[in-house]
Structure 1
C-alpha cells in the first residue's frame, strides 16, 4: 500500500523561454554563479564560494538576495552538476528559507529548443515545510522567472 504524500511536502516548477544558448545559461549557474549577481543585481547582491570550487559537487555557496522586498541569505551545497543534461542542483542548508522548511532542493535545467538558438530553463523546487502553517513557496516562482530573464539579457549583451 502506498502512503499518501504528507501535506508538508511539495514540489513547484516553472519553465522560462530564453534567447541565450542553453550551454551559456547552464555555465553561469554551474561554473560561475557569482556572475548571477552581475546579471540580476536587483535580485541577487552576491554569491560567494565558502568551500570547494565553482561547479563541483559538495561545494558550499552563500547567496545574498532580495525576495519579497527583504534582504535574505541562503547557504547551499551543490548536490549535482550534470553537464550532459545541463542540470545543476542546490540543497539549501542554512538561511532564511530554512526558517520555514526542513528541506529545500532547487534544480535548474536548461534545454535547447529544437531548430533554434533559444532555450528553455526549468527550475524545480522540492521541499518539506516545518509545519502546516507555512505557505508553499509560490512567491519564489516570479522571483526566479525575473532572475532568469535578466540573466538571459545579460548573456545576450555579452556576445
Structure 2
C-alpha cells in the first residue's frame, strides 16, 4: 500500500521453501552469488568498501528492471542475524534519479506451519516530486528475485 504525497512504503511477502537462515545468509554474506540464481535480473554485485554482511559496507549492484540495465550503490544500514533481517540504503544509481531516499529491508521468518519461510520486503522511499510513480514494479522485481534465490537454495545438488 502506497502512502500519500512524496513519501511511501510498499511491502510484499514471498513464501519460500528455504530456511530463514539460508535466505538471509545469501543477501547478507553472499550477495555476490545472487546473480548466479537470477542472471536475467541481476548481473552482478561487487564489494566496494567494508566486509560482506557488516553495517557500513558499500556494495554495487548491476541489475535489469523494467527491461533496462540499471545500477545501484547501497550501504548496509542494519543487520540483525537473530531476526534474519538486513536493511540496504540506496546511495547512488538509477533509483536516485527519482527518489530522495530509498531503503530496502529484507526480513525472513519461519512459516507458522510446516517448513519454509516468508520473506518480508519493505521498500521505504521519498520521491523527488509528486509526478513520480510509487515503485510498485520494484515489488514484483524483489518477489521474482526471492523466488529465483529460493529455487537455487532448495534445488537438489
TM-score normalised by the chain length of structure 1: 0.94
Q: Number of matched residues?
A: 155
Aligned-residue RMSD, C-alpha? 1.2
Q: Secondary structure at the match of 1:38?
A: helix
Q: Is 1:33 matched with 2:23?
A: no
Q: Secondary structure at the match of 1:139?
A: helix
Output the CA distance in 2 between the equivalents of 1:157 and 1:45.
Answer: 21
Q: Which runs of 4+ in 1 moved over 2 A?
A: 114-117
Matches within 5 A, 1:38-57: 38-57=36-55
Query: How much has 1:6 moved relative to structure 2?
Result: 6.3
TM-score normalised by the chain length of structure 2: 0.96
Note the residue ranges of structure 2 that are not aligned, 5 or more in a row.
none
Bigger drift between 5-14 and 72-81 goes to 5-14
Tell me the equivalent position of 1:14. 12
- C-alpha distance after superposition, 1:83-136 (max 9, x if no partner): 001000000000000000000000000001124221000110010000111110
Q: Cα–Cα, structure 1 residues 83 and 108, in superposed 2: closer, same or farther, change >3 Å?
A: same
Tell me the equivalent position of 1:147. 145
